[in-house]
Structure 1
Amino acid sequence: MDVDAKQYVSPTLPRARVLLEDASGGVHPVDVEVAATPEARTRGLMWRQELPAGQGMLFVFPEDEVQSFWMRNTLIPLDMLFIDSAGKIVGVVENAQPRTLTSRSVGLPGRYVLEVPGGWSRAHGLVSGGTVRFQGLEGIPVVP
């Protein structure tokens, strides 16, 4: 079945935690589903009706590359934080408009993309250059 289809039933994804440090040293935890396979990365948060504050989806790629995302079949606005393998936020796309095919990228290589509810990153003072730590990713295999 097509992973883009509304009726597709996604397998349960592994869970982890992302700790994001703001400019003044405050740490903001986000509990995430981890999309580490091609199918999970393609499906992402499509067709979700809501995403509560403090929750998100972490897309994990095999290596640092310039990543690009769209919002096709995504029903809610999202912030996208692009993170490199050293744990640095290399860019943020705020309030990506739902149900669009516009390509969203920050033009810099990253290994991770964290999607959180639209407006969440600004509300928590998260900007490029911030530091990110991960808890619980160690045992999750990343499939190219």
Structure 2
Amino acid sequence: MLNIKRAASWIGLSAASVFFLAQPSAAQTIPQTGLPVVEIGAGMHLIHAEVARTDEQRAIGLMARKDMPQNAGMVFIFEQPAEQCFWMRNTLIPLSVAFVADDGTIVNLDEMQPLSDVSHCSKKPVRYVLEMNKGWFDKRGIKAGTKLRGGPWPK
């Protein structure tokens, strides 16, 4: 669900950005499974987020999933803070995306439509991106500025 629209400019930013060029097969029809799971606290809610840490895991993301449990999600971890942009090619379910700073604070949120190439980007450089079912954050009153607990960010 990553956008390579600006890949040429990102390559010069960091070695971590090179993964934007690695795209999964256009015929990605089988969801990836077996990823590690981390618990993230959001207000009084507990999220069980699969961890996408490698280039391939991040490139595939939640593609080909037909549904996702209510309090489940996926957290994408990048080596360096950078402007992170996501899209929904080959992703069948609508998602909400939270761009998260190193301290676990949500920088900005966006809503993403299935099967779309529209870019959704962080408003500042981040290393973490959390995807949940569409509307998950809004239904729980979680907004930009909310600090998430647990998770992969440094303590």
Q: Same-fold call, TM > 0.5? A: yes
Instruction: Structure 1 unaligned segments of length 5 or more: list them.
Output: 22-26, 139-144
Alignment check: 8 A CA contact 1:93 1:106 kept: no
Give the number of the structure whose residues are more often helix, by fraction: 2
What amino acid maps onto 1:119 in structure 2?
A: G
- Preserved CA contact (<8 Å) 1:63 1:85: no
Instruction: State the SS of the aligned residue for 2:103.
Output: coil
Match of 1:19 in 2: 41
Would you say 1:3 and 2:20 are equivalent positions? Answer: no
**Residue matched to 1:124:** 140
Q: Is contact 1:36-1:61 (8 Å) kept?
A: yes
In the alignment, residue 68 of structure 1 is paired with which amino acid? C
1:4-24 deviation per Cα after TM superposition (whole angstroms, max 9, x unaligned)? 433456352111111113xxx
Aligned-pair identity in percent equals 38
- Go from structure 1 to structure 2 and tell me whether the alpha carbon gap of 1:72 and 1:131 turns closer, same or farther (over 3 Å shift): same
Distance 2:29 2:115 in 1: 17
| TM-score (ref. length: structure 1) | 0.83
**1:40-82 residue CA offsets vs partner (Å, 9 max, x unmatched):** 0000000100012100001011122110000000001000011
Structure 1 Cα separation of the partners of residues 121 and 60 of structure 2: 18
